[in-house]
Structure 1
Amino acid sequence: MIKVDLITGFLGAGKTTFLKKYAKYLMDRGNRICILENDYGAVNVDVMLLQDLEGEQCELEMVSGGCDRDCHKRRFKTKLISMGMSGYDRVLIEPSGIFDVDEFFDVLYEEPLDRWYEIGNVIAVVDAKLDEKLSEESDYLLASEAANAGLVIFSKSQDATEEDQERTLNHLNRAMEQVRCKRRFQDNVLRKPWDSLTDEDWKGISSCGYVLESYEKSVFENDEGYTSLYFMNVHMTVQELRSSVKSLMAASDCGNIVRIKGFMISEDGTWIELNATHQSTAIQHVEKGQEIIIVIGEGLIRDKISAFFQTQTE
């Protein structure tokens, strides 16, 4: 049977960066893998960041869009069925940062997938400097992603103090309490910088398994939930982009913006990648891109947000 690992994590936690390192570890040990990017949005830019992995040992697949969660779930199942006879040793699934983890378990326990696949690991990536001012829905998503994880891994721990990390652990445990889950985290969290992970660390990660833990489900109204806005063909300098993102993140009348990501052609004609949260803004050169900026958050107001970009929108 094909093992399936789920890599969860709240928006901007660093799932894709972790996934690249994890995939390389598995391929170095002879595994033939498939990475499935599974997003509710109409456009998935994260798959572009994984293209350098693609080759004989690694294939990339994508599920995106869907008019509602049921439609998305059907597309997810159909994609896994089509992949069932491809001879993979392991499938790594990176979902949206607002993914309902129950969908993963529900789909893989259904026929015929239960004959082809077995659940391997559920790994939750958590920013070591987690934003303290998360909304009620954000805290729910954070808890639901960690509840069933065989291992919680801190990202960006090299930039976080011990106080930052303890604050994040306390926040995570408060979120678990709020959803009436008895699980708590302290020593059962991997807090090492990823560049210093040893083979023994990666061996433990690749066999961490998962936990079936109960928690209280919450249902949020659509107009209170997360949405994504897409801005095409953004043309400005890198400095203008950085300034606009900083101002937009601080704007109180645009909705609760959690993450801004995407690609743009810089003034020198090269591609740049943008990845911004309230904690940091990273802009770096990449070989390939797609002219799109995606703003993700709650209660977003398109007209006000679009004013921050010199762009046509759709």
Structure 2
Amino acid sequence: MIKIDLITGFLGSGKTTFIKKYARYLMKQGLNIGILENDLGPVNIDMMLLHDLEGDNCELEMVSGGCDKDCYRRRFRTKLIAMGMSGYDRVLIEPSGVFDVDDFFDALYEEPLDRWYQIGNVITIADAALAQNLSSQADYVLASEAASAGSVILSRCQEASEEEISNTIAHLNRALREIHCERTLKDEVITKNWEDFTDKDFEKIFSCGYTAATYEKMELDETSVFDSLYFMNQSITEEKLCTEAERIFSDPECGSVWRIKGFVRKDKNQWVEINAARHKTTVNQMEVGQEVIIVIGENLNRSVIEKYLNVTDK
């Protein structure tokens, strides 16, 4: 049977960055892997970021969202059926940042997927400097994704203080209590700079499994609460985007902005990928890209954000 891992994490938590490192470890072990990406927007930027993994031992697939839940579940199931015939040793699933983990378990317990797949791990990524003033809806998503995790891996630990890391773990446990989940996260939380991960660290993650936790569910209207605003074909310089990102984060009129990411053309054959958070902005050179800026957050105000980015209709 094919082992299948679910990598969850709230919007902008760092799932794609972790998957790149985890996938390279798996391929180094000689495994043939498939990565299934989900994106609700018109551009799957995470597929671009994973582009350099593609090769003889790794293939990328996508299930598109932007439809009702029943339609998405059918697409998800159909894609897994097709991938089950492709000879993978391991499949990694990166869902959208707002994801009902029960959809994953329900699909894999149904025929014919239950004959082809065996659940390997549920891994949850959370920002080590998690904002402490999240809404009840955001806290629910955090807790529901962490409830079943075999490992909870904190991202950007090297940029967070010990107090921030401690507060993040306490926040996750508080959110779990709020949804009446009896689980308390302790040793399953990994607080280490990802650049320092060794094979031993990945071995621990590779065998972390999952937890059959129960909790009280909340119905979310995720399209009206959690936003990913896409600005397509906007020519903007690297310096301008970094400057305006700082201004957007500091302006409450923009809404609760968690992450700004996208691609900026450097020259004819070179792109720059920008990933901005409140505490840091990272810039990486890329060979592929597309002129797109994505603003991720809660209750975002498109018209105000457009003014900062000088968005024009094309």
State whether TM-score is above 0.5: yes
Structure 1 alignment gaps of length 5 or more: none
Q: What is the alpha-carbon root mean square deviation over aligned residues?
A: 1.7
Name the SS of the counterpart of 2:92 in structure 1.
strand
Residue aligning to 1:35: 35
Supply the distance in 2 between the matched residues of 1:241 and 1:268 (Cα, whole angstroms): 19
* 1:15 counterpart = 2:28: no
C-alpha deviation, 1:127, in angstroms: 1.3
Supply the distance in 1 between the matched residues of 2:14 and 2:95 (Cα, whole angstroms): 12
Supply the distance in 2 between the matched residues of 1:102 and 1:42 (Cα, whole angstroms): 25
2:211 partner letter: V
- Structure 1 residues 183 and 55, CA, compared in 2 at 3 Å: closer, same or farther? same
8 Å contact kept, 1:63–1:79:
yes
Map 1:182-261 → 2, pairs under 5 A? 182-221=182-221, 224-261=224-261
TM-score normalized by the length of structure 1? 0.95
Supply the distance in 2 between the matched residues of 1:25 and 1:209 (Cα, whole angstroms): 17
* 1:139 counterpart = 2:139: yes
Residue aligning to 1:83: 83
Supply the distance in 2 between the matched residues of 1:223 and 1:112 (Cα, whole angstroms): 31
Task: Give me the identity figure in percent.
Answer: 56
C-alpha deviation, 1:268, in angstroms: 8.2
Q: Structure 1 stretch 181-190 or stretch 84-93: which is displaced more? A: 181-190
8 Å contact kept, 1:230–1:313:
no
Cα deviation 1:190-231 (Å, max 9, x = unaligned):
112222222222111111110010011111345642122211
Residue aligning to 2:289: 289
2:37 partner letter: E
Supply the distance in 2 between the matched residues of 1:40 and 1:70 (Cα, whole angstroms): 14
- Structure 1 residues 164 and 264, CA, compared in 2 at 3 Å: closer, same or farther? same
TM-score normalized by the length of structure 2? 0.95
Name the SS of the counterpart of 1:91 in structure 2.
strand
Name the SS of the counterpart of 1:114 in structure 2.
helix
Supply the distance in 1 between the matched residues of 2:201 and 2:33 (Cα, whole angstroms): 20
Name the SS of the counterpart of 2:131 in structure 1.
coil
Cα deviation 1:221-269 (Å, max 9, x = unaligned):
4564212221112222222111111111222222222222111213787
- Structure 1 residues 30 and 269, CA, compared in 2 at 3 Å: closer, same or farther? closer
Supply the distance in 1 between the matched residues of 2:313 and 2:262 (Cα, whole angstroms): 14
Name the SS of the counterpart of 1:41 in structure 2.
coil
1:35 partner letter: I
Q: Structure 1 stretch 244-253 or stretch 49-58: which is displaced more? A: 244-253
8 Å contact kept, 1:9–1:126:
yes
8 Å contact kept, 2:150–2:188:
no
Residue aligning to 2:307: 307
- Structure 1 residues 222 and 162, CA, compared in 2 at 3 Å: closer, same or farther? closer
Name the SS of the counterpart of 1:264 in structure 2.
strand
Supply the distance in 1 between the matched residues of 2:92 and 2:292 (Cα, whole angstroms): 25
8 Å contact kept, 1:231–1:293:
yes
Residue aligning to 1:279: 279
Supply the distance in 1 between the matched residues of 2:54 and 2:221 (Cα, whole angstroms): 39
1:218 partner letter: M
Residue aligning to 2:164: 164
Supply the distance in 1 between the matched residues of 2:63 and 2:299 (Cα, whole angstroms): 25
- Structure 1 residues 100 and 278, CA, compared in 2 at 3 Å: closer, same or farther? farther
Structure 2 alignment gaps of length 5 or more: none
Supply the distance in 1 between the matched residues of 2:253 and 2:230 (Cα, whole angstroms): 18
Name the SS of the counterpart of 2:253 in structure 1.
coil
Supply the distance in 2 between the matched residues of 1:292 and 1:43 (Cα, whole angstroms): 8
Supply the distance in 2 between the matched residues of 1:154 and 1:313 (Cα, whole angstroms): 39
8 Å contact kept, 2:237–2:264:
no
Residue aligning to 1:67: 67
1:23 partner letter: A
C-alpha deviation, 1:290, in angstroms: 0.9
Supply the distance in 1 between the matched residues of 2:122 and 2:221 (Cα, whole angstroms): 27
2:45 partner letter: V
2:238 partner letter: V
Supply the distance in 1 between the matched residues of 2:97 and 2:147 (Cα, whole angstroms): 15
